Structure 1
Amino acid sequence: MLKPSIFVTRKLPDEIIAPLTEKYEVNMWDKEDVPVPVETLRAHAKKAEALLTMLSDPIDREVLNNAENLKVIANLAVGFDNIDIKAATENGIAICNTPDILTDSTADLTFALLMSTARRIVEAAEFIKNGEWKSWSPLLLAGHDIHHKTIGIVGMGSIGQAVAKRAAGFEMNILYHNRSRKLEAEKQLGAVYCTFEELVIKSDFIVCLTPLTEQTRNLFSRDVFKKMKKTAIFINASRGAVVDENALYDALVEGEIAAAGLDVFVKEPIDVDHPLLNLSNVVAIPHIGSASMATRLGMMKLCVENIQAVLSDKEPTTLVNKLNV
């Protein structure tokens, strides 16, 4: 009797996959740093009972409608905008993600990106490496203070609240905008709920942590950047498509805002000749929000556990689309 088939779309450590190989036929793309070709993904999805996917894998309606045996997709990310959830639900396919386990690591990175951008850390490091440091001077690479400033968090989920906790340690004033009020955060951290427009106008640091939906796509537009303080610093650690990148570039060049720290981009990997990468007031990093060894391994293990649960007719730990599986 043939074992149920599982396809893993990126090379993962053997010890992570080992629990699956005991009961299932596991096929794994053999590249760690190169995405699986779409044609290969579709061919495996057509016959597999489970997929372990990356956030960069496009799982569209065509893939899902032709997946004859597919029962579960475990996505190695908290976001799942790469998957057509409606089509998956219509086809009875469980979608699982990896929330919570990455909250603190992503919050650490988000705040590190904020600090690096504000205090021009990357620029200063390159200044030394390029042999430009000739003497100390009073305003050499002077940046922006973080302490006692106002941070505006757009998207006050678990990661947003974790960032707010870190901001509280810097005695920052915390504003937030979210689909719903977070009363516990207001009580514990002194966070103040406000409209999106109020947040944009009042904040010294605007930190985007909202998921990508049709409502948030291009949320940060030309008009929004014009409403920010000229000294404002914009941080995006959510999804690239929540930002109009052309509008952001113009805002930075024209001095409508002071700087930007970006972990995500509309196209990933971003082209090396992208205009944003030529600006000294942009800190750009390659989507590493949750990239600590412990966190990434934990995310992988959670994906494996979710697959095991669904294929054993049990409820997975982090089910996105609430199927009766």
Structure 2
Amino acid sequence: MLRRRIYVTCPLPPSVKVLLSDGCDVTFAGEERVPTAEEIVSGTLGHDALLVTTPTRVDRPLIERLPPSVKAIATYSVGNDHIDVDAAAEHGLAVFSTPDVLTDACAEATMLLMLGAARRATEAIALLREGRWQGWTPVQLNGVGLTGKRLGIVGMGRLGRAIADRARAFGMAVDYHNRSRLEPGLEAGAGYHASLEDLLRVSQFLVLACPATEQTRGLLNARRIGLLPPGAIVVNIGRGSVVVDDDLIAALGDGRVAGAGLDVFDGEPSVHPGYFRLPNVFMLPHVGSATIETREAMGQILLDGLRDFWAGRPAVNRLV
């Protein structure tokens, strides 16, 4: 069988490199930095596929300049807003992503964010690391518990449902808002709110697990934050653009929102400096899917999708 060639613009775990190199010739071009558009155009000459991840923007101008040998674009991510999928389709390029394999890792990270924000982990870690801890007292860093609280989830896809399963194990009641209501078997007893505003009013904990779209950009703004119960906890595991940073920072600063757990940020890797001044913010650097099991599964599903494409078979992870 003809050995296919893949051009990679991002660093990958060693085990994933071995996986991709099994049967394919791979050019690993993004080890030190993201290649420029010019470097991608020249580097992909003679390659069959371009493999990127979110820092690499594959826009229409780049797509129009790709060599004719490139027939597929694979993104090492679930999100695909960094790729002009319409332009790819117009130019006859197949696009692949990594759906479903990140669900468990991101759901686990969501619980970490919820607990970190609710139990004041940022303050507790600083107290220890800065040598300021003077011993236990009954008034030291009292946070809020999850048991008995109402969790509102925005976006009840696979990730939202996995979060709901774990939250129930903590004794939480689950409500959700979605573009459409789930069938009862998938709802698993969660309360559906056709209106986002209605969901916010009952969400003592709010988890944003929705994708980045034009409709969700700036979804959590000052007006909607004002609908949350006093002392709510906000968690974002979806995309940074869903939150209006200035509005959330203001609410965290004056106590309307008790705490936030954030794994994603608008404009990342840049982070709004206002978050660093707030002790009630528990932050992670976009590591929701960062388990080696997940990283290997991401590589496998992309390789499987490309092989299916090259063999003329349908691929479960093909977008266009």
Same fold (TM over 0.5): yes
CA distance in 2, matches of 1:22, 1:295: 19
Structure 2 equivalent of residue 269 of structure 1: 269
What is the Cα deviation at residue 106 of structure 1? Answer: 0.8
What is the Cα deviation at residue 187 of structure 1? Answer: 5.2
Structure 1 equivalent of residue 316 of structure 2: 317
What is the Cα deviation at residue 181 of structure 1? Answer: 1.0
CA distance in 2, matches of 1:148, 1:95: 43
What is the Cα deviation at residue 50 of structure 1? Answer: 0.5
Q: Secondary structure at the match of 2:207?
A: strand
Letter in 1 for 2:78: V
CA distance in 1, matches of 2:23, 2:136: 64
Structure 2 equivalent of residue 220 of structure 1: 220
CA distance in 2, matches of 1:35, 1:205: 37
Structure 1 equivalent of residue 282 of structure 2: 283
Structure 1 equivalent of residue 153 of structure 2: 153
- C-alpha distance 238-22 of structure 1, shift in aligned 2 (>3 A): closer
CA distance in 1, matches of 2:103, 2:267: 24
What is the Cα deviation at residue 208 of structure 1? Answer: 0.2
Letter in 2 for 1:162: A
The answer to whether the Cα contact below 8 Å between 2:16 and 2:295 also exists between their aligned partners in 1 is no
Q: Which runs of 5+ in 1 are unaligned?
A: none
Q: Secondary structure at the match of 1:227?
A: coil
The answer to whether the Cα contact below 8 Å between 1:35 and 1:57 also exists between their aligned partners in 2 is yes
CA distance in 2, matches of 1:22, 1:210: 35
Structure 2 equivalent of residue 16 of structure 1: 16
Structure 2 equivalent of residue 52 of structure 1: 51
Name the count of aligned residue pairs: 317
Letter in 2 for 1:110: T
Structure 1 equivalent of residue 175 of structure 2: 175
CA distance in 2, matches of 1:153, 1:76: 25
Letter in 2 for 1:95: V
Q: Secondary structure at the match of 1:290?
A: coil
Letter in 2 for 1:286: P
CA distance in 1, matches of 2:218, 2:239: 10
Structure 2 equivalent of residue 307 of structure 1: 306
Structure 2 equivalent of residue 40 of structure 1: 39
- C-alpha distance 313-245 of structure 1, shift in aligned 2 (>3 A): same
Structure 1 equivalent of residue 6 of structure 2: 6
Letter in 2 for 1:137: T
1:117-159 per-residue CA deviation (whole Å, 9 max, x = no partner) reads 1011232122112122113222210111111100000000001
- C-alpha distance 3-187 of structure 1, shift in aligned 2 (>3 A): closer
CA distance in 1, matches of 2:71, 2:93: 5
Structure 1 equivalent of residue 209 of structure 2: 209
Letter in 1 for 2:297: G
Instruction: Map residues 189-268 of structure 1 onto 2, 5 A cutoff.
Output: 190-194=189-193, 195-268=195-268
Q: Secondary structure at the match of 2:257?
A: coil
CA distance in 2, matches of 1:120, 1:161: 26
- C-alpha distance 49-112 of structure 1, shift in aligned 2 (>3 A): same
CA distance in 2, matches of 1:41, 1:220: 36
> Is 2:129 the counterpart of 1:141?
no
Q: Which runs of 5+ in 2 are unaligned?
A: none
RMSD, aligned CA = 2.1
Structure 2 equivalent of residue 123 of structure 1: 123
Instruction: Map residues 38-117 of structure 1 onto 2, 5 A cutoff.
Output: 38-45=37-44, 48-67=47-66, 68-117=68-117
What is the Cα deviation at residue 185 of structure 1? Answer: 5.1
CA distance in 1, matches of 2:20, 2:299: 12
Q: Secondary structure at the match of 2:219?
A: coil
TM-score w.r.t. the length of structure 2 is 0.92
Structure 2 equivalent of residue 295 of structure 1: 294
The answer to whether the Cα contact below 8 Å between 2:13 and 2:295 also exists between their aligned partners in 1 is no
The answer to whether the Cα contact below 8 Å between 1:151 and 1:206 also exists between their aligned partners in 2 is yes
Letter in 2 for 1:257: V
Identity fraction in percent? 36
Q: Secondary structure at the match of 1:230?
A: coil
CA distance in 2, matches of 1:149, 1:203: 8
- C-alpha distance 186-73 of structure 1, shift in aligned 2 (>3 A): closer
1:7-54 per-residue CA deviation (whole Å, 9 max, x = no partner) reads 11123345534465465442112516x433343234335653201111
1:52-90 per-residue CA deviation (whole Å, 9 max, x = no partner) reads 111221111111122233211111111111111111111
What is the Cα deviation at residue 230 of structure 1? Answer: 2.3
